[in-house]
Every structure is written in structure tokens, then in C-alpha cells.
Amino acid sequence: MKVGFIGLGIMGTPMALHLVNKGHALTVYTRSQVPEAITAAGGVRVDSAAAVAREAEVIFTMVPDTPDVEAVLFGKGGVAEGIGKGKVVVDMSSISPMATKAFAKRINALGADYIDAPVSGGEVGAKAGTLTIMCGGDAAVFERVKPLLECMGKNITLVGGNGDGQTTKVANQIIVALNIAAVSEALVFASKAGADPAKVREALMGGFAASRILEVHGERMIKRTFNPGFRIKLHQKDLGLALQGARELGVALPQTANAAQLMQACAARGLGELDHSALVQALEIMAEHPVAKG
């Protein structure tokens, strides 16, 4: 198929590569320089999101936040200027569910279809093509784009209508943040008590406390490898969406609010560009004790 990809960051670049490596004709647009791997694989850069929309049958977007998606879709030189009947926008960013519903209606009014398809799995999953993809939209449109999504992910689910994919991603980010906070507290506690945190983690991996967060991010906390797979500032944004939605729905999310404050403490110390596993540093500061020496 003729596909377009807008947003070639840490996640977007490997995702786009999977598409072109599977034989799809790829047109790309990004505000920064197009990675050499994309052009070497046959990706063609154009000078606007509108040009991507004119060239492609399915247009993927993968940008940081709700205003970025709105600008890419409806701003000057945006997708809306080049889209037409029969085309599909697949937004893989993590943004507001309510805004997503509004964006979908505006794209539908132009004769095109819209799928929200945020992902989980981080840079590792993006590179491996094993992302979890949570979709919202029309079932027939989903089936049309599913073979493309299968180039990038393994666990691909149509949750419901437009916005439901984004709602699922927010729920995912709540669970991930709370798990990171729990693992952080456990390792800070164990280390300050005098136990070897690496051995504690090893023991816990064989019990009911075992989790992917303990496996991957627990190791990061011990080895002090906080180079970003998923940055604190982006997880802050996602928790902000959760708390905003909670206010609108009249739902209390006390543990989410606490995790958001721990990330805010990290960001206030200039750690927002680090991996979200660096949340442990907020607890280490309060305990006056690092999990392990870097």
C-alpha cells in the first residue's frame, strides 16, 4: 500500500521502517532531519503533512501531544489540506480521548476515516515490531489497516469507537506509572535496609510480585541506565490526561496523582528527559539513599 508517516522520533522511526521494509511505499514528513535509515530503505521525504496525505492511502501520525496532532492534521500545510475520500488517518500518538473524538469527526467530514491507535512497548517494542496497539474506530476501517499495524505490533485490539483506543492507552499509563512507583519504593526500602537490591529483584521475579516493570525497569534502577526508552516528561503528559479525564468524569485517581507528583519532582530537578524508570530518583532523594551507586 501507499503509506505515509508523520513524526520520526524515537518511536516513529523504527515503526516507519517496519512499514517500508515490508514492501509498502513510504512517504514521510518530519520537522527534523529524516533519519538516514528511512531514506536508505526507500522512504521519500516531502515538505508538508499535506503532501503526505496527497501521496498516501493511509497516513500515520506519531507526535508528542494533543496540540501537535491538531497542528499536523489541521494546521497550515496539514493533513486536512491533502486528504480525500477513501483515505485513512491512523493516529498512533498518545493524546486526549475527547480531542480524538473531535479530530475524528473533522476528518470524517472531509470524506476520510480515522483510527486512533496509541501504542505501548516503548523503543524496544517499536524496534522489535512487538508493540501493543489499542485501537478505536469503525470495525471495517480497522480491518483495512490491521495488516499495516501488524508490521509494527503483535497485540492489536479494536477496543471500540474513536477515542476508546486513547482511553485504553491512558489506562495503560496509569498502570505502568503505579508499577514503576511500587518497584521504586520496594528497591529503595530494600537497599536502605542493607539488602542487595539486585538479589532482592532476582528473588521477587520468582514470586507473585513479578512483573515486566520489575524485570526491565527494576534492572534500570539498579544499573542506573536511565537513557530514555520513554521519557518522564511524556509520561507526565499521559498522567495529566488521566487526571484531566478523572475531573471530567468525577472519578478519584489518588495513586495516579501521587505518581504524577513523583514525576513532577524529577522534572523539577531537570530529569524530564530521562527514562520514566528514573522516577525512583524522587524517592531516593526523600530517603537520602540511592538504590545503587552509578
Looking at residue 206, what DSSP letter applies? Answer: T
Q: How far apart are CA 255 and CA 125, in angstroms?
A: 27
Q: Compute the chain's Rg from CA coordinates.
A: 20
Rounded Cα distance between 14 and 270, Å, is: 27
- φ and ψ at 6, to 5 degrees? -120, 115
- The helix (run of H) or strand (run of E) holding residue 114 is strand 113-116
Residue 29 CA, distance from chain mean position: 19
CA distance 46 to 35: 14
Q: Please give the Cα distance from 118 to 145 (Å, whole number).
A: 14
- Whether 169 is a known active-site residue: answer yes
Contacts of 66 (CB under 8 A, 6+ apart): 95, 96, 99
Instruction: Determine which one of 2, 85, 146, 169 is catalytic.
Output: 169
Q: Which amino acid is at 272?
A: G
In angstroms, how far is the first alpha carbon of the chain from the final one? 48
Can you tell me whether residue 99 is helix, strand or coil?
A: helix
Residue type, 40: A
The catalytic residue positions are: 169
